[in-house]
Amino acid sequence: MKDPQGVYLVGNPQFEDFIGIKESDLIGKTDYDLFEPELAEFFQQHDQRAVLAQKPSVNEEWVTFASNGHHALLETIKTPIFDEDKKLLGVLGIAREITERFQSEELLKKSETRFRELFEHSPVAYQSLDDKGIFIDVNQKLCDLLGYSVDELLGKKFSELWSLDTQEKFPEVYSCFLQEGKTQGELRLIRKDGKLIIVLLEGRIQRDAQGKFMRTHCILHDITEQKRMEEELMRAQSIAHVGNWSYDVRNKKFVGSDEWYKIFGLAQKKLMDESFFESVFPEDIQRVRQEWESALAGNPKAIEYRLMINNQIKWVYSKADVERDSEGHISQIMGIVQDITEQKKAEEARIQLDSKMRDIQKLESLGILAGGMAHDFNNILMAIMGHASLAAHELPPNSPLCGNLSEIEKAGRQASDICQQMLAYSGRGRFLVQKININDLISDMANLLKTSISKKADLKLLLDKSIPLIEGDTTQIRQVVMNLIINASESLGDQNGYISLTTGVKFCDQSYLDELMYRADLKEGFYTFLQVSDTGLGMDEHVIEHLFDPFFTTKFTGRGLGLAAVLGIIRGHHGGIKILSTPGKGSTFTIYFPIMGEKDEEIVAKLASTQKNWKAEGTVLLVDDEESVRAVAKLMLEKIGYSVFTASNGEEALQIYQKLQNQIHYVLLDLTMPQMDGEETYNELIKIRPDVKVILTSGFTEQEISSRFKSKGLSGFIQKPYTLAGLRDCFESIPSEKP
C-alpha cells in the first residue's frame, strides 16, 4: 500500500521475496529509492493510470530486480482508494509472479485479508464473474446497490438481474466484450425489491498466460437519477417541441436530440451536412446559411424560418450560443430549435380575426350612418312629396304647374328608392317577409335578366327543382339577383363569355361557414344557395376586400351602393356570402339563405324523394381533399345507388384504382387538390386505363374547365356546390354500359 505521494505504507512478505528488501526497510521509501530508474518509472506510470481511470488497473510485465537479479513475469493490479469526498487515500498494489504458482498458504491468507478489507470498503461497486456469468466475488457497495447480501449474490447468475430490454440487447454486447476484452455500457437491472436501476458498467476480461478466460472484473456506477433527469428533460422538450443540438467546430461533429431530428424530419443520427438545408424552405435557405456562417464567426443570432417537411410548411425558432477554448477560439456551438407552427397559425388566425372584426365594425358604423341618413332623408322627402301632392290637388288640371309638381314627385320617389337601398345596406330595410321559392322568383325575372346583360354574354339558368323554401322579401331578393347578374355582365366587358345562375341545396359544416364573408351567426346544416358565375375579368384580393364598400368600383367612377346594398340584404336575411375569383379567370358569388322550418332529416328525405325511376349501378371512386365534401358526397352517391370508394388525394386515388380498376366504373374527381391536382391525377388514370370514365367537379364553371380538358375525353362535369338531384342528373346523362 502506498500513500498519494507514492510512499510505501505496508508491504507483505511475498513482496519482500520479490524485491529482496525487508519490510522494515520498505516503509517510507518510494519506487525510485528501491528499484532501477526504468523499473521505478514503470511502477509509477501504472499507479498514475489507475488513479486517472479511478478504477483498478491490471498490467503484466517481465521485470528483473536489481537487488537479487530475479527475472519474473509479474502481474500487477493497482487500485486507487478514495474516501466519501472522492479524495485519494492511496493506491493498493497487488503483485503476483505468474511464472511460479506456488505460494505459501499462510502468506496468501494474510494478503487476501488485507486486500479484502480495502476491497470491502471501496466506494465503487465491484464484481467478478466466471465464464458462465456467475458471481464469484462482490463487494459491499455492489450488495447495497442491488439490495442483496453477499451470500445471495455469490453463485447467482448476473443475467437474472437484467431487465427485459437488457436481455434482448446484451448477447450482442457480450459477444463484442469477448472479442475486445473490455466493454463499457448502460444496463437496466432489477433490484431485489423490484425497483429498476440503471448502471454504467465498465468491464475487463482477465486471461491467463496462455490466453485462456479466467474471469471478468466489472465496476458498476449507479446513474439512475442522472438518466431520470435526462428523460424528464427530453419529455419536456417533446411537449414544448424544443430540440437541442451542439456542433464541435474542430471535428465538425454534430449531435442533436431526438426532438431535433423529429422537428427537421431527418433520419436519426444523420450528420448535419447539406441534408439539413434540404429541409429548409427554398426561399429561406440563403438567410439560414448566412446566419449559420455568422454563428461560425462567433455572432449567433435568434432566427425564425420555415421548413418543408412532406410538402407541409413548418415554422421554427432557433437560438444559438458559442463556447470558446482557453485561447479564445470557438470550440463549440450549442443551440435550441422550437417548432412554432401552431403559434404562427394562431397569430395568422388572430390577424384574420382582427381584420374581420374591423370589417364588421366598419360595416356596422357605415350601416348606422346609412340608416340614420335614410331615416332623416325619408322624413324630408315625406315633407317634399306631401306638399307637392297637396299643391297638385289644389291646382286645376290644366295648370302649367302640374307638370312641375309631377316631376318633383317623380324625383322624390327616386330619392326614396335610394333611401331603401341605404336601409338595405344597413340591414334595417323594411322587409315584407313571406315564403319564397327562389326558382320561381328567377323564372319570373328571366326575360328581364336577359335584356339587362351584354349581348355578348350567354346566360345559363341551372335551377335545382328540389330546393326548399326560404323566408324573405321578394323585392329585396330580386335586387340581389339583378345586382349580381349586372355585375357579372360588366365583368365580361366587350368580350364573349358565360354567366350561369345556379340554385341548389348544400350541407355546410361549421368550418365551411367560417369561411363565408360577413356571415351572420350561422349554424351547421343545410342551406339554400343562389350562385352567379361569370368568365369575366375576375378580381384580386384587394378588390374583393373593398367590393362591398359604398360607391367602390373598378370602373372610372362609382355609381351608387350596388353590391353594398346586396350585402345589407344578405345580412338582413341572416345569410352569408362566399366569393371565389382569380384575375383573368372569372368570379363566382354564392349566397346562402337559411331554410324555412325544415329539419336536416326532412331535407335529405325530400331530396331523395325527387329521384326518378333511374337507378344507379356500379362503383364510384370519389376523390376530394375536403373531408366534409367526401362525407356528404359519399352519402349522396350511396343514396343514388352506387357503392363508393373514397380517396383524400391524387396519389391515394391512383393506388386504389391500380388495385381495383376492374371494380370501379366511374371516378368523381375534384379539380383543385394539393400536391397532385385533378388534371395530373386524370392524366395518370388514363395511363392505367385509357377508357376510364371520369366526372370532374370544381367550383369553377364548365366553360372555364372545358378549355383545359377539351381533347381529354371527360365523361362529365358537375359544378360545386351540387345537389343530390344535380349529381343524379349528371350520372344519368353519361352513356353507360351495364356494370
Query: Is the pLDDT at 427 greater than 60, yes or no?
Result: no
Domain formed by 433-594, architecture: 2-Layer Sandwich (3.30)
pLDDT in tens, 629-649: 788 888 888 888 899 999 999
CATH superfamily of 1-121: PAS domain (3.30.450.20)
Q: Which residues contact 35 (CB under 8 A, 6 or more apart)?
A: 19, 43, 65, 66
Residue 543 or residue 234, greater confidence: 543
Instruction: Tell me what pLDDT residue 739 has.
Output: 47
CB half-sphere exposure, 667, CA atoms < 13 A: 34
Residue 198 or residue 546, greater confidence: 198
Number of H helices, E strands in the chain: 25, 25
Instruction: Tell me what pLDDT residue 102 has.
Output: 42
Of the candidates 512, 502, 520, which has an alpha carbon nearest to the alpha carbon of residue 593? Answer: 520
CA 303 – CA 307 distance, rounded (Å): 13
Q: Which residues contact 550 (CB under 8 A, 6 or more apart)?
A: 366, 370, 425, 561, 564
- Topology of domain 345-426 in CATH is Helix Hairpins (1.10.287)
Instruction: Tell me what pLDDT residue 607 has.
Output: 59
Which residues of the chain does CATH 3.30.565.10 include?
A: 433-594
CA 230 – CA 195 distance, rounded (Å): 19
Q: Which of 54-68, 363-377, 564-578 has the lowest mean pLDDT?
A: 363-377
Tell me the range of 170-174, 190-194, 513-517 where mean pLDDT is highest: 190-194
Instruction: Tell me what pLDDT residue 645 has.
Output: 94
> pLDDT band for position 146 (50/70/90)?
very high
Query: Is the pLDDT at 115 greater than 80, yes or no?
Result: no
CA 153 – CA 145 distance, rounded (Å): 12
Instruction: Tell me what pLDDT residue 583 has.
Output: 85
Instruction: Tell me what pLDDT residue 95 has.
Output: 83
CA 324 – CA 18 distance, rounded (Å): 51
Query: Is the pLDDT at 476 greater than 60, yes or no?
Result: yes
Mean pLDDT score, 224-233:
76
CA 701 – CA 717 distance, rounded (Å): 9
Domain 612-732 = CATH 3.40.50.2300: yes
Query: Is the pLDDT at 469 greater than 60, yes or no?
Result: yes
CB half-sphere exposure, 338, CA atoms < 13 A: 14
**Residue 561 is placed in which grid cell?**
351602393
Instruction: Tell me what pLDDT residue 736 has.
Output: 57
Q: Which of 229-233, 321-325, 602-606 has the lowest mean pLDDT?
A: 602-606
Query: Is the pLDDT at 73 greater than 90, yes or no?
Result: no
Q: Are 111 and 130 in contact (CB under 8 A)?
A: no
CB < 8 Å & 24+ apart, contacts of 309-312: 309/264, 309/265, 309/279, 310/265, 311/674, 311/675
When the candidates are 3.30.450.20, 3.40.605.10, 3.40.630.10, 3.40.50.720, the CATH number that belongs to 227-339 is: 3.30.450.20
Query: Is the pLDDT at 603 greater than 60, yes or no?
Result: yes
Element (H, E) at 452: helix 438-452
Which residues of the chain does CATH 3.40.50.2300 include?
A: 612-732
**Residue 550 is placed in which grid cell?**
359604398
Percentage of the chain beyond pLDDT 90 is 9
| Mean pLDDT of the residues in the chain | 79
Q: Which residues contact 670 (CB under 8 A, 6 or more apart)?
A: 623, 624, 625, 626, 629, 678, 697, 698
Mean pLDDT score, 91-120:
64
Instruction: Tell me what pLDDT residue 3 has.
Output: 92
> pLDDT band for position 414 (50/70/90)?
low
The residue type of 342 is E
How many CB atoms lie under 10 A from the CB of residue 687? Answer: 10
Query: Is the pLDDT at 558 greater than 50, yes or no?
Result: no
Question: For residue 316, which phi and psi values (nearest 5 degrees)?
Answer: -135, 150
Mean pLDDT score, 523-540:
87
Instruction: Tell me what pLDDT residue 719 has.
Output: 76
DSSP 91-158: EEEEEEESS-----HHHHHHHHHHHHHHHHT-SSEEEEE-TTSBEEEE-HHHHHHHT--HHHHTT-BG
CA 471 – CA 457 distance, rounded (Å): 31
Query: Is the pLDDT at 661 greater than 70, yes or no?
Result: yes
Of the candidates 265, 248, 246, which has an alpha carbon nearest to the alpha carbon of residue 257? Answer: 246
Beta pairing, strands 457-462 & 497-508: parallel
pLDDT in tens, 189-223: 999 998 999 888 888 888 887 888 888 888 888 88
Instruction: Tell me what pLDDT residue 284 has.
Output: 87
Of the candidates 537, 617, 623, which has an alpha carbon nearest to the alpha carbon of residue 583? Answer: 537
Instruction: Tell me what pLDDT residue 367 has.
Output: 57
- Within 525-663, residue ranges assigned H as helices are 541-546, 563-572, 600-609, 627-640, 650-660
- Angle at the Cα of 83 from the Cα atoms of 79 and 88, rounded to 5 degrees: 55
pLDDT in tens, 16-31: 777 777 878 888 989 8
Supply the pTM of this predicted model.
Answer: 0.37
CA 421 – CA 10 distance, rounded (Å): 113
Query: Is the pLDDT at 562 greater than 60, yes or no?
Result: no
Instruction: Tell me what pLDDT residue 620 has.
Output: 93
Mean pLDDT score, 540-566:
63
**Residue 251 is placed in which grid cell?**
471535428
Which residues of the chain does CATH 3.30.450.20 include?
A: 1-121, 227-339
CB half-sphere exposure, 295, CA atoms < 13 A: 25
Query: Is the pLDDT at 275 greater than 70, yes or no?
Result: no
Which residues of the chain does CATH 1.10.287.130 include?
A: 345-426
